[in-house]
Protein backbone atom coordinates (compact mmCIF):
# COMPACT_ATOMS: atom_id res chain seq x y z
CA UNK A 1 0.00 0.00 0.00
CA UNK A 2 1.44 3.38 -0.90
CA UNK A 3 2.16 6.05 1.64
CA UNK A 4 -0.95 8.01 2.63
CA UNK A 5 -1.11 11.76 3.03
CA UNK A 6 -2.56 13.02 6.28
CA UNK A 7 -6.11 14.34 6.14
CA UNK A 8 -6.62 17.94 7.16
CA UNK A 9 -9.57 20.17 7.93
CA UNK A 10 -10.31 23.85 8.30
CA UNK A 11 -9.71 24.93 11.89
CA UNK A 12 -11.89 28.00 12.03
CA UNK A 13 -14.15 30.28 10.04
CA UNK A 14 -14.63 33.94 10.97
CA UNK A 15 -18.17 35.21 11.50
CA UNK A 16 -17.53 37.60 8.58
CA UNK A 17 -16.85 34.64 6.27
CA UNK A 18 -19.89 32.82 7.62
CA UNK A 19 -22.11 35.81 6.81
CA UNK A 20 -20.68 36.25 3.30
CA UNK A 21 -20.97 32.56 2.42
CA UNK A 22 -24.48 32.21 3.79
CA UNK A 23 -25.59 35.21 1.76
CA UNK A 24 -23.89 34.33 -1.52
CA UNK A 25 -23.55 30.53 -1.59
CA UNK A 26 -26.55 29.44 0.48
CA UNK A 27 -28.78 32.39 -0.55
CA UNK A 28 -29.97 33.06 2.98
CA UNK A 29 -31.04 36.54 4.02
CA UNK A 30 -28.90 37.70 6.90
CA UNK A 31 -28.65 41.17 8.43
CA UNK A 32 -26.09 42.31 10.94
CA UNK A 33 -27.76 44.09 13.89
CA UNK A 34 -24.46 45.04 15.50
CA UNK A 35 -22.48 46.73 12.70
CA UNK A 36 -20.01 48.11 15.27
CA UNK A 37 -18.78 44.62 16.15
CA UNK A 38 -15.73 43.35 14.25
CA UNK A 39 -16.98 40.24 12.45
CA UNK A 40 -13.42 39.14 11.68
CA UNK A 41 -12.57 38.82 15.36
CA UNK A 42 -15.00 36.05 16.27
CA UNK A 43 -14.37 32.54 14.99
CA UNK A 44 -16.68 29.60 14.43
CA UNK A 45 -14.88 26.31 15.08
CA UNK A 46 -17.67 23.73 15.06
CA UNK A 47 -20.35 22.62 12.65
CA UNK A 48 -22.99 22.11 15.36
CA UNK A 49 -25.47 24.81 16.31
CA UNK A 50 -26.95 25.50 19.73
CA UNK A 51 -30.20 26.96 21.04
CA UNK A 52 -29.24 28.46 24.38
CA UNK A 53 -32.65 28.22 26.06
CA UNK A 54 -31.37 26.48 29.19
CA UNK A 55 -28.32 28.72 29.46
CA UNK A 56 -30.52 31.84 29.29
CA UNK A 57 -32.72 30.32 31.99
CA UNK A 58 -29.69 29.92 34.22
CA UNK A 59 -28.40 26.40 33.64
CA UNK A 60 -24.91 26.82 32.15
CA UNK A 61 -23.40 23.44 32.95
CA UNK A 62 -22.29 21.73 29.73
CA UNK A 63 -23.22 24.90 27.85
CA UNK A 64 -21.82 24.52 24.32
CA UNK A 65 -20.92 28.20 24.03
CA UNK A 66 -18.37 27.61 21.23
CA UNK A 67 -21.19 26.84 18.79
CA UNK A 68 -23.20 29.33 16.74
CA UNK A 69 -26.11 30.33 19.02
CA UNK A 70 -29.59 30.33 17.54
CA UNK A 71 -32.32 32.48 19.09
CA UNK A 72 -35.63 31.14 17.79
CA UNK A 73 -39.20 31.96 18.77
CA UNK A 74 -38.90 30.19 22.13
CA UNK A 75 -35.72 31.99 23.24
CA UNK A 76 -37.11 35.36 22.11
CA UNK A 77 -40.45 34.79 23.84
CA UNK A 78 -38.63 33.77 27.02
CA UNK A 79 -36.44 36.90 26.99
CA UNK A 80 -39.46 39.09 26.35
CA UNK A 81 -41.30 37.51 29.28
CA UNK A 82 -38.61 38.77 31.66
CA UNK A 83 -38.43 42.27 33.12
CA UNK A 84 -35.52 44.48 32.03
CA UNK A 85 -33.19 43.51 34.90
CA UNK A 86 -33.81 39.78 34.67
CA UNK A 87 -33.34 39.95 30.90
CA UNK A 88 -30.06 41.75 31.32
CA UNK A 89 -28.87 39.11 33.81
CA UNK A 90 -29.92 36.24 31.53
CA UNK A 91 -28.09 37.68 28.51
CA UNK A 92 -25.00 38.56 30.50
CA UNK A 93 -24.89 35.02 31.86
CA UNK A 94 -24.42 33.59 28.34
CA UNK A 95 -22.18 36.47 27.26
CA UNK A 96 -19.78 35.54 30.06
CA UNK A 97 -18.75 32.70 27.75
CA UNK A 98 -16.72 33.18 24.55
CA UNK A 99 -19.57 32.85 22.04
CA UNK A 100 -18.92 33.20 18.25
CA UNK A 101 -22.24 34.90 17.41
CA UNK A 102 -25.99 34.92 17.98
CA UNK A 103 -28.54 34.60 15.17
CA UNK A 104 -32.19 35.60 15.54
CA UNK A 105 -34.33 33.42 13.29
CA UNK A 106 -37.84 33.77 11.88
CA UNK A 107 -37.33 37.53 11.56
CA UNK A 108 -37.68 37.91 15.33
CA UNK A 109 -37.24 41.44 16.61
CA UNK A 110 -34.34 41.64 19.05
CA UNK A 111 -35.69 41.73 22.62
CA UNK A 112 -35.06 45.16 24.20
CA UNK A 113 -31.47 45.75 25.20
CA UNK A 114 -30.11 42.60 23.53
CA UNK A 115 -28.21 44.32 20.73
CA UNK A 116 -26.60 46.81 23.14
CA UNK A 117 -25.37 44.04 25.45
CA UNK A 118 -23.91 42.12 22.50
CA UNK A 119 -22.19 45.24 21.21
CA UNK A 120 -20.59 45.89 24.61
CA UNK A 121 -19.27 42.30 24.67
CA UNK A 122 -18.04 42.46 21.08
CA UNK A 123 -20.30 39.61 19.97
CA UNK A 124 -22.22 39.88 16.70
CA UNK A 125 -26.01 39.68 16.62
CA UNK A 126 -27.45 38.62 13.25
CA UNK A 127 -30.98 38.13 12.02
CA UNK A 128 -32.55 35.99 9.30
CA UNK A 129 -36.14 35.88 8.05
CA UNK A 130 -35.87 32.07 7.59
CA UNK A 131 -37.82 29.77 9.92
CA UNK A 132 -35.64 28.31 12.69
CA UNK A 133 -35.55 24.65 11.67
CA UNK A 134 -34.95 25.31 7.97
CA UNK A 135 -32.29 27.87 8.77
CA UNK A 136 -30.52 25.54 11.17
CA UNK A 137 -30.52 22.75 8.58
CA UNK A 138 -28.98 25.07 5.96
CA UNK A 139 -26.30 26.46 8.28
CA UNK A 140 -25.48 23.03 9.63
CA UNK A 141 -25.01 21.64 6.15
CA UNK A 142 -22.83 24.58 5.19
CA UNK A 143 -20.66 24.32 8.30
CA UNK A 144 -20.38 20.56 7.96
CA UNK A 145 -18.90 21.08 4.52
CA UNK A 146 -16.55 23.81 5.73
CA UNK A 147 -15.19 21.66 8.55
CA UNK A 148 -15.23 18.40 6.58
CA UNK A 149 -12.16 16.17 6.48
CA UNK A 150 -10.07 16.81 3.36
CA UNK A 151 -7.13 15.19 1.69
CA UNK A 152 -4.98 15.99 -1.32
CA UNK A 153 -4.84 12.99 -3.64
CA UNK A 154 -2.33 12.49 -6.42
CA UNK A 155 -4.48 11.51 -9.37
CA UNK A 156 -6.91 12.75 -11.99
CA UNK A 157 -10.66 13.05 -11.49
CA UNK A 158 -12.84 12.79 -14.59
CA UNK A 159 -16.61 12.61 -14.98
CA UNK A 160 -17.10 9.63 -17.28
CA UNK A 161 -20.77 9.15 -18.27
CA UNK A 162 -21.76 10.85 -15.03
CA UNK A 163 -19.54 8.66 -12.87
CA UNK A 164 -16.74 10.29 -10.91
CA UNK A 165 -13.69 8.26 -11.85
CA UNK A 166 -10.45 8.82 -9.97
CA UNK A 167 -7.36 7.76 -11.92
CA UNK A 168 -4.46 6.87 -9.67
CA UNK A 169 -0.97 5.49 -10.13
CA UNK A 170 2.68 6.35 -9.88
CA UNK A 171 4.03 9.54 -11.46
CA UNK A 172 4.70 9.08 -15.16
CA UNK A 173 2.33 6.13 -15.63
CA UNK A 174 0.10 8.23 -17.89
CA UNK A 175 -2.82 9.48 -15.78
CA UNK A 176 -2.83 12.89 -17.44
CA UNK A 177 -2.70 11.34 -20.90
CA UNK A 178 -5.69 9.12 -20.15
CA UNK A 179 -7.55 12.10 -18.66
CA UNK A 180 -6.83 14.10 -21.81
CA UNK A 181 -7.96 11.23 -23.99
CA UNK A 182 -11.20 10.99 -21.99
CA UNK A 183 -11.77 14.73 -22.44
CA UNK A 184 -11.18 14.36 -26.17
CA UNK A 185 -13.93 11.71 -26.21
CA UNK A 186 -16.41 14.08 -24.61
CA UNK A 187 -15.95 13.41 -20.90
CA UNK A 188 -15.36 16.15 -18.37
CA UNK A 189 -12.23 16.90 -16.39
CA UNK A 190 -12.56 17.91 -12.73
CA UNK A 191 -8.88 18.05 -11.80
CA UNK A 192 -5.53 16.59 -12.72
CA UNK A 193 -2.51 15.86 -10.52
CA UNK A 194 -3.92 17.31 -7.30
CA UNK A 195 -7.47 16.34 -6.40
CA UNK A 196 -8.85 17.63 -3.11
CA UNK A 197 -11.16 14.99 -1.68
CA UNK A 198 -13.70 16.13 0.91
CA UNK A 199 -15.82 13.77 3.00
CA UNK A 200 -19.29 15.30 2.84
CA UNK A 201 -21.10 12.50 4.62
CA UNK A 202 -20.09 9.20 6.19
CA UNK A 203 -20.12 7.57 2.76
CA UNK A 204 -19.89 10.46 0.34
CA UNK A 205 -16.66 11.84 -1.06
CA UNK A 206 -16.60 14.98 -3.18
CA UNK A 207 -13.63 15.88 -5.35
CA UNK A 208 -12.46 19.16 -6.80
CA UNK A 209 -9.27 20.76 -8.04
CA UNK A 210 -7.29 23.46 -6.29
CA UNK A 211 -8.12 27.14 -6.70
CA UNK A 212 -4.65 27.76 -8.16
CA UNK A 213 -4.50 25.02 -10.77
CA UNK A 214 -8.17 24.62 -11.77
CA UNK A 215 -8.14 22.89 -15.16
CA UNK A 216 -4.49 23.18 -16.07
CA UNK A 217 -2.68 19.92 -16.56
CA UNK A 218 0.85 18.92 -17.28
CA UNK A 219 1.45 16.53 -20.13
CA UNK A 220 4.99 15.20 -20.26
CA UNK A 221 6.71 16.34 -23.38
CA UNK A 222 4.18 19.10 -24.00
CA UNK A 223 4.18 21.15 -20.83
CA UNK A 224 1.15 22.89 -19.37
CA UNK A 225 -2.20 22.58 -21.10
CA UNK A 226 -5.28 24.58 -20.09
CA UNK A 227 -8.13 22.19 -20.79
CA UNK A 228 -10.80 24.84 -20.29
CA UNK A 229 -9.25 27.26 -22.78
CA UNK A 230 -8.58 24.49 -25.28
CA UNK A 231 -11.73 22.34 -25.11
CA UNK A 232 -14.21 24.81 -23.66
CA UNK A 233 -16.81 24.65 -20.95
CA UNK A 234 -18.23 21.27 -22.02
CA UNK A 235 -14.93 19.61 -21.17
CA UNK A 236 -14.74 20.61 -17.53
CA UNK A 237 -16.59 20.68 -14.27
CA UNK A 238 -15.62 22.02 -10.86
CA UNK A 239 -16.85 19.31 -8.54
CA UNK A 240 -17.87 15.70 -8.76
CA UNK A 241 -18.63 12.92 -6.36
CA UNK A 242 -15.75 10.42 -6.34
CA UNK A 243 -17.33 7.05 -7.02
CA UNK A 244 -14.70 4.78 -8.56
CA UNK A 245 -10.95 4.35 -8.46
CA UNK A 246 -8.97 3.16 -11.45
CA UNK A 247 -5.50 2.24 -10.30
CA UNK A 248 -2.97 2.15 -13.14
CA UNK A 249 0.32 0.37 -12.69
CA UNK A 250 2.97 -1.49 -14.61
CA UNK A 251 2.22 -5.11 -15.36
CA UNK A 252 3.40 -7.38 -12.59
CA UNK A 253 3.41 -11.10 -13.35
CA UNK A 254 3.02 -11.94 -9.65
CA UNK A 255 -0.01 -9.75 -9.17
CA UNK A 256 -3.41 -11.41 -9.26
CA UNK A 257 -5.76 -9.48 -11.57
CA UNK A 258 -9.53 -9.54 -11.58
CA UNK A 259 -10.73 -11.80 -14.36
CA UNK A 260 -14.48 -12.10 -13.91
CA UNK A 261 -15.22 -9.25 -11.54
CA UNK A 262 -16.90 -11.44 -8.92
CA UNK A 263 -14.90 -9.89 -6.09
CA UNK A 264 -14.72 -6.12 -5.89
CA UNK A 265 -11.42 -4.56 -4.77
CA UNK A 266 -11.89 -1.56 -2.55
CA UNK A 267 -9.82 1.57 -2.02
CA UNK A 268 -10.07 3.41 1.29
CA UNK A 269 -10.00 7.20 1.15
CA UNK A 270 -10.86 9.35 4.19
CA UNK A 271 -12.64 6.35 5.69
CA UNK A 272 -14.85 5.87 2.63
CA UNK A 273 -14.54 2.61 0.70
CA UNK A 274 -14.56 3.08 -3.07
CA UNK A 275 -14.75 0.28 -5.63
CA UNK A 276 -11.35 0.00 -7.27
CA UNK A 277 -10.26 -1.50 -10.57
CA UNK A 278 -6.56 -2.34 -10.92
CA UNK A 279 -5.41 -1.97 -14.50
CA UNK A 280 -2.02 -3.28 -15.56
CA UNK A 281 -0.46 -1.15 -18.28
CA UNK A 282 0.71 -3.27 -21.18
CA UNK A 283 1.56 -2.33 -24.77
CA UNK A 284 -1.43 -1.90 -27.04
CA UNK A 285 -3.93 -1.49 -24.23
CA UNK A 286 -6.42 1.33 -24.65
CA UNK A 287 -6.86 2.56 -21.09
CA UNK A 288 -9.36 5.23 -22.11
CA UNK A 289 -11.82 2.70 -23.48
CA UNK A 290 -11.28 0.53 -20.42
CA UNK A 291 -12.11 3.55 -18.23
CA UNK A 292 -15.35 4.08 -20.15
CA UNK A 293 -16.26 0.43 -19.74
CA UNK A 294 -15.42 0.56 -16.03
CA UNK A 295 -17.76 3.55 -15.65
CA UNK A 296 -20.56 1.90 -17.63
CA UNK A 297 -20.16 -1.32 -15.66
CA UNK A 298 -20.45 0.72 -12.47
CA UNK A 299 -23.67 2.27 -13.79
CA UNK A 300 -25.09 -1.15 -14.67
CA UNK A 301 -24.27 -2.40 -11.19
CA UNK A 302 -25.86 0.69 -9.67
CA UNK A 303 -29.05 -0.15 -11.51
CA UNK A 304 -28.92 -3.74 -10.33
CA UNK A 305 -27.30 -5.47 -13.29
CA UNK A 306 -24.06 -7.25 -12.47
CA UNK A 307 -22.68 -8.95 -15.60
CA UNK A 308 -20.56 -11.38 -13.61
CA UNK A 309 -23.59 -12.43 -11.54
CA UNK A 310 -25.79 -12.76 -14.63
CA UNK A 311 -23.25 -14.93 -16.39
CA UNK A 312 -22.66 -17.06 -13.30
CA UNK A 313 -26.43 -17.66 -13.03
CA UNK A 314 -26.61 -18.65 -16.69
CA UNK A 315 -23.74 -21.08 -16.26
CA UNK A 316 -25.26 -22.59 -13.11
CA UNK A 317 -28.55 -23.15 -14.92
CA UNK A 318 -26.81 -24.82 -17.83
CA UNK A 319 -24.90 -27.15 -15.52
CA UNK A 320 -28.14 -28.17 -13.79
CA UNK A 321 -29.86 -28.91 -17.13
CA UNK A 322 -27.13 -31.43 -17.98
CA UNK A 323 -27.58 -30.61 -21.67
CA UNK A 324 -24.56 -32.50 -22.88
CA UNK A 325 -20.83 -32.22 -23.08
CA UNK A 326 -20.52 -29.59 -25.85
CA UNK A 327 -21.71 -26.00 -26.00
CA UNK A 328 -24.52 -25.40 -28.49
CA UNK A 329 -24.11 -23.09 -31.47
CA UNK A 330 -25.72 -19.71 -30.61
CA UNK A 331 -27.68 -19.69 -33.86
CA UNK A 332 -29.82 -22.74 -34.48
CA UNK A 333 -30.34 -22.31 -38.20
CA UNK A 334 -28.44 -19.95 -40.57
CA UNK A 335 -30.98 -18.42 -42.89
CA UNK A 336 -29.98 -17.34 -46.39
CA UNK A 337 -28.90 -13.76 -45.73
CA UNK A 338 -25.31 -14.62 -44.94
CA UNK A 339 -23.91 -11.70 -42.96
CA UNK B 1 10.99 6.24 5.15
CA UNK B 2 13.33 9.24 5.32
CA UNK B 3 12.10 12.64 6.43
CA UNK B 4 13.91 15.96 5.89
CA UNK B 5 12.94 19.45 6.93
CA UNK B 6 13.94 22.15 4.43
CA UNK B 7 13.43 25.89 4.07
CA UNK B 8 12.79 27.84 0.89
CA UNK B 9 15.68 30.33 0.77
CA UNK B 10 15.44 31.99 -2.64
CA UNK B 11 13.53 35.28 -2.78
CA UNK B 12 11.01 34.31 -5.46
CA UNK B 13 9.88 31.15 -3.66
CA UNK B 14 8.91 27.91 -5.41
CA UNK B 15 7.89 29.37 -8.76
CA UNK B 16 7.86 27.35 -11.96
CA UNK B 17 11.62 27.01 -12.47
CA UNK B 18 12.50 25.69 -8.97
CA UNK B 19 9.37 23.52 -9.08
CA UNK B 20 10.50 21.83 -12.27
CA UNK B 21 14.02 21.42 -10.84
CA UNK B 22 12.58 19.63 -7.80
CA UNK B 23 10.44 17.34 -9.95
CA UNK B 24 13.26 16.56 -12.36
CA UNK B 25 15.69 15.73 -9.55
CA UNK B 26 13.10 13.72 -7.61
CA UNK B 27 12.12 11.71 -10.68
CA UNK B 28 15.73 10.52 -11.09
CA UNK B 29 15.21 8.26 -8.07
CA UNK B 30 13.09 5.17 -7.78
CA UNK B 31 11.84 6.11 -4.32
CA UNK B 32 8.44 7.69 -3.79
CA UNK B 33 8.79 11.36 -2.94
CA UNK B 34 6.26 13.52 -1.12
CA UNK B 35 6.32 17.12 0.11
CA UNK B 36 4.30 18.41 3.06
CA UNK B 37 3.44 21.99 3.94
CA UNK B 38 1.19 22.76 6.91
CA UNK B 39 -0.45 19.34 6.78
CA UNK B 40 -1.06 19.53 3.03
CA UNK B 41 0.83 16.87 1.12
CA UNK B 42 1.54 16.40 -2.57
CA UNK B 43 3.56 14.04 -4.74
CA UNK B 44 7.02 15.52 -5.28
CA UNK B 45 7.24 14.03 -8.77
CA UNK B 46 4.23 16.02 -9.98
CA UNK B 47 5.04 19.54 -11.17
CA UNK B 48 1.45 20.73 -10.76
CA UNK B 49 1.48 19.29 -7.25
CA UNK B 50 4.71 21.09 -6.31
CA UNK B 51 3.39 24.36 -7.72
CA UNK B 52 0.18 24.11 -5.65
CA UNK B 53 2.37 24.42 -2.54
CA UNK B 54 2.91 28.06 -3.63
CA UNK B 55 5.75 28.07 -1.08
CA UNK B 56 7.14 31.53 -0.37
CA UNK B 57 10.62 32.49 0.82
CA UNK B 58 11.08 31.27 4.39
CA UNK B 59 8.44 28.55 4.12
CA UNK B 60 9.32 25.28 5.85
CA UNK B 61 8.60 22.07 3.98
CA UNK B 62 8.92 18.44 4.98
CA UNK B 63 10.32 16.09 2.35
CA UNK B 64 9.42 12.41 2.61
CA UNK B 65 11.14 9.58 0.75
CA UNK B 66 10.25 5.94 0.66
CA UNK B 67 12.00 3.32 -1.43
CA UNK B 68 15.28 1.59 -2.26
CA UNK B 69 17.30 4.81 -2.76
CA UNK B 70 15.57 7.01 -0.20
CA UNK B 71 18.80 8.21 1.47
CA UNK B 72 20.41 9.31 -1.80
CA UNK B 73 17.21 10.98 -2.93
CA UNK B 74 16.87 12.81 0.38
CA UNK B 75 20.46 14.08 0.18
CA UNK B 76 20.04 15.23 -3.42
CA UNK B 77 16.83 17.16 -2.77
CA UNK B 78 18.11 18.64 0.47
CA UNK B 79 21.15 19.94 -1.42
CA UNK B 80 18.88 21.49 -4.05
CA UNK B 81 16.97 23.44 -1.38
CA UNK B 82 20.17 24.41 0.47
CA UNK B 83 21.53 25.82 -2.78
CA UNK B 84 18.40 27.97 -3.24
CA UNK B 85 17.95 26.47 -6.74
CA UNK B 86 20.88 28.56 -7.89
CA UNK B 87 18.91 31.75 -7.22
CA UNK B 88 19.48 34.59 -4.82
Residues A117-175 have pLDDT tens digits of 999 999 999 999 999 999 999 999 999 999 999 999 999 999 999 999 999 999 889 89
Structural domains of chain A ordered from first start: 13-146 (3.40.1390.20), 150-311 (3.40.50.300)
ipTM above 0.85, yes or no: no
- The confidence band for A6, taking pLDDT boundaries of 50, 70 and 90, is confident
pLDDT digits (tens, 9 = 90+) for A44-83: 999 999 999 999 999 999 999 999 999 999 999 999 999 9
CA A264: distance to chain centroid? 23
pLDDT digits (tens, 9 = 90+) for A176-188: 999 999 999 999 9
Residue A109's pLDDT is 93
Cα separation, A251 vs A257, whole angstroms: 10
For residue B47, give the nearest of A8, A152, A218 by CB distance: A218
pLDDT digits (tens, 9 = 90+) for A257-306: 777 766 688 999 999 999 999 988 888 789 999 999 999 999 998 999 98
Give A193 to chain B, closest Cα distance, Å: 6
Q: The pTM is what?
A: 0.83
Residue A326 clears pLDDT 80, i.e. is over it:
no
Residue A319's pLDDT is 84
Any idea which residues of B carry the catalytic annotation?
15
Which of B48, B50, B55 is the best substitution to test chain A (most A C-beta atoms within 10 A)? Answer: B48
Residue A338's pLDDT is 67
Q: Could you tell me what percent of chain A has a pLDDT over 90? A: 73
- CB-based contact A190:A179 (threshold 8 Å): no
> B32 at the A interface (CB within 8 A)?
yes
Higher pLDDT pick, B19 / A339: B19
- The confidence band for A309, taking pLDDT boundaries of 50, 70 and 90, is confident
Q: Could you tell me what percent of chain A has a pLDDT over 70? A: 96
Residue A322's pLDDT is 75
Cα separation, A74 vs A136, whole angstroms: 15
User: What mean pLDDT do residues A104-120 have?
Assistant: 93
Nearest C-alpha neighbor of B7 from the set B65, B84, B76, B64: B84
Closest chain B residue to A212 measured between Cα atoms?
B52
Contacts of B32 in chain A (CB under 8 A): 2-3, 170
Residue A14's pLDDT is 95
> B62 at the A interface (CB within 8 A)?
no
Residue A1's pLDDT is 40
The CA–CA distances, whole Å, from A139 to A48, A63, A198 equal 9, 20, 18
CA A18: distance to chain centroid? 19
Interface size, chain A vs chain B, as Cβ–Cβ contacts under 8 Å? 54
Structural domains of chain B ordered from first start: 2-86 (3.30.1340.10)
Residue A264's pLDDT is 80
pLDDT digits (tens, 9 = 90+) for B41-81: 999 999 999 999 999 999 999 999 999 999 999 999 999 99
- The confidence band for A86, taking pLDDT boundaries of 50, 70 and 90, is very high
Residue A270's pLDDT is 94
User: What mean pLDDT do residues B13-20 have?
Assistant: 91
Contacts of A2 in chain B (CB under 8 A): 32
Contacts of B66 in chain A (CB under 8 A): 3
Give B64 to chain A, closest Cα distance, Å: 10
pLDDT digits (tens, 9 = 90+) for A218-263: 888 888 899 999 999 999 999 999 999 999 988 877 777 777 766 6
Sequence-ordered strand ranges (E) for chain A:
13-14, 31-32, 43-44, 49-50, 68-71, 101-104, 124-127, 150-160, 163-169, 188-201, 204-208, 216-219, 223-226, 239-241, 244-250, 265-269, 272-281
Residue B65 bridge partners (DSSP): B2, B33
For residue A154, give the nearest of B27, B39, B43 by CB distance: B43
Q: Could you tell me what percent of chain B has a pLDDT over 90? A: 84
Any idea which residues of A carry the catalytic annotation?
154, 175, 193, 259
For residue A217, give the nearest of B1, B41, B48 by CB distance: B48
Higher pLDDT pick, B2 / A328: B2
User: What mean pLDDT do residues A315-326 have?
Assistant: 79
Cβ-based interface (< 8 Å): residues of A facing B: 2-3, 5-6, 8, 152, 154, 170-172, 192-194, 210, 212-213, 216-218
Residue A251's pLDDT is 80
For residue A152, give the nearest of B1, B32, B42 by CB distance: B42
- CB-based contact A222:A214 (threshold 8 Å): no
**Average pLDDT along chain A:** 90
Amino acid sequence: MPHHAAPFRKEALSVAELVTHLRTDVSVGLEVLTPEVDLQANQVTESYLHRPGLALAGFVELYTHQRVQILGNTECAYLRSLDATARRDAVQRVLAFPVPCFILTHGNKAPDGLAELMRESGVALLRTPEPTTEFMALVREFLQDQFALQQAVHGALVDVYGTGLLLMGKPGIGKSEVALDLVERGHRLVADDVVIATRREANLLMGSGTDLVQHFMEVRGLGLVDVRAMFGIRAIRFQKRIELVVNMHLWDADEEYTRLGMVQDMYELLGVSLPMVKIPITPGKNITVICEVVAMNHLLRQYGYDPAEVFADRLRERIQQKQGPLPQRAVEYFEHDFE
Amino acid sequence: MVEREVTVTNRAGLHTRPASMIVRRGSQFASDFYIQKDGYEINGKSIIGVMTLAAEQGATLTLLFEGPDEEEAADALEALFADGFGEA
